[in-house]
Structure 1
């Protein structure tokens, strides 16, 4: 991979603390991090960045993570970007499957899990 390649990630979460922690950790690892606290106009938000991976919270305003992920997966331009679904809900696997996400991460997660999940989904992509 050439050194000019910038890894870009988009995080959708309405919890500012989670956004700042994730952004801090991922930027340390060389990611360009874009964060949003709502998923309105999600296709436009994602297309302006064209990230390598998306982290999606279940309870994101206004429509919620499932609908937001389905919008992405129904877009020809965006459907191949892997989505990591995250939630504190005990049914997270079902939610992620329903949304069409590639994988999921249960909240609260530790940072090693975050890194591992992102790396796994990128290897599959």
Structure 2
């Protein structure tokens, strides 16, 4: 069985490394990016099963990046999990059109749980 693919967008290298470590350990294939530059192209090249989207991204914020993906005919089906330390993360996730959200700092169990929910 091929591993499910997860794409994590975050401008914080430490968070990307942490997510990679946790999710690879759980048996997923991971790609990360520190920028939402050409977001559609980045996602089309990988075609992940799920995407984590940080709110603060260089060039294109998480809201714009999520909207771009959700308006793309080949990408709109991919669940996007909004990923932020903002207090109003649920409002931001709604505005972006994300499928769900995960507050930072997150615990490992919560990260694995939200992935399972959206990949089952």
- Report if TM-score (shorter chain) is over 0.5: yes
* Within-5 A mapping of 1:39-118: 39-118=36-115
* Shift of residue 104, structure 1, vs aligned partner: 0.1
> Per-residue deviation at 1:119?
1.1
Give the length in aligned residue pairs. 120
RMSD, matched Cα: 0.7
* 1:38 aligned counterpart, secondary structure: coil
Work out whether 1:11 is the aligned partner of 2:8.
Answer: yes
Give ranges in structure 2 of 5+ residues lacking alignment.
none
**Following the alignment from structure 1 to structure 2, what is the Cα–Cα distance between the partners of residues 36 and 58?**
13
Q: Secondary structure at the match of 2:91?
A: helix
What's the CA shift for 1:16?
0.5
Q: Which runs of 4+ in 1 moved over 2 A?
A: none
TM value normalised by structure 1: 0.94
CA shift for structure 1 position 122: 2.0
Matched, 1:120 2:96: no
SS in structure 2 at match of 1:75: coil
